Amino acid sequence: MQTTLSPESGVRPKNTLPEKNTVTLTINGSVHQLELAPWTTLLDALREYLHLTGTKKGCDHGQCGACTVLVDGKRINSCLTLAVMKQDTEILTIEGLAGENGLHPLQTAFIEHDAYQCGYCTPGQICSAVGMINEGHAKTTDDIRELMSGNICRCGAYPHIVDAIEEVMQLDSNA
């Protein structure tokens, strides 16, 4: 015998989904309030609710890096992060990297070094590179390769990606 419980009892009846919650996210300097199911990933919130489609859905398992964004300056895989977990943080996507004076130096370097082919991985590669530079651990070409290893480029533009990152790192060290 199955018992049906009412909402007043505080127990949800079987086969019903949790209600959506208001989630407040600060993305690229703008505050957004979204009504999201608790299981909505940050990636889906960006792409499906805010139409910020620069961040790509690749493997949806945190293995390819196409969904990399910056949260408080640190790189994360947005496909593995629930949106509700990123309230009270600063989220930066590829759309927010360019400033008033034009493209971010890494965006310019990627163009100059032809560090993309199909372009699918490029937003994640650039966001990951910004995060890697912020971390300050990369000192050599081998360090860059290792620290960027979570970002896959199926076209094989790796030598150009490394060249672009090295150029920007040299600019930063000369500044």
Q: Each residue of 98-117: b (16+ CB within 10 Å) or e? A: eeeeeebbbbebbeebebbe
Where is the domain boundary, 96, 123, 141? 96
Please state, as a whole number, how many other Cβ atoms lie within 10 Å of the Cβ of residue 136: 8
Question: What domain range includes position 92?
Answer: 18-96
**Cα–Cα dist 99/85, whole Å:** 27
161 plus 134 within the same structural domain: yes
Instruction: Over range 150-174, report the average pLDDT.
Output: 93
Q: Is the pLDDT of residue 15 over 80?
A: no
What does the pLDDT look like over 57-111, one tens digit per residue?
999 999 999 999 999 999 999 999 999 999 999 999 999 999 999 999 999 999 9
CA-to-CA dists, residue 131 to 38, 50, 76, angstroms: 27, 23, 9
Where is the domain boundary, 73, 96, 119? 96
pLDDT of residue 4: 53
What pTM did the predictor assign? 0.88
Q: Is the pLDDT of residue 39 over 70?
A: yes
113 plus 61 within the same structural domain: no
Q: Is the pLDDT of residue 137 over 70?
A: yes
| Beta-bridge partners for 76 | 69
Instruction: Over range 26-42, report the average pLDDT.
Output: 97
- H helices of the chain, in order, are 42-44, 105-112, 122-135, 141-147, 158-174
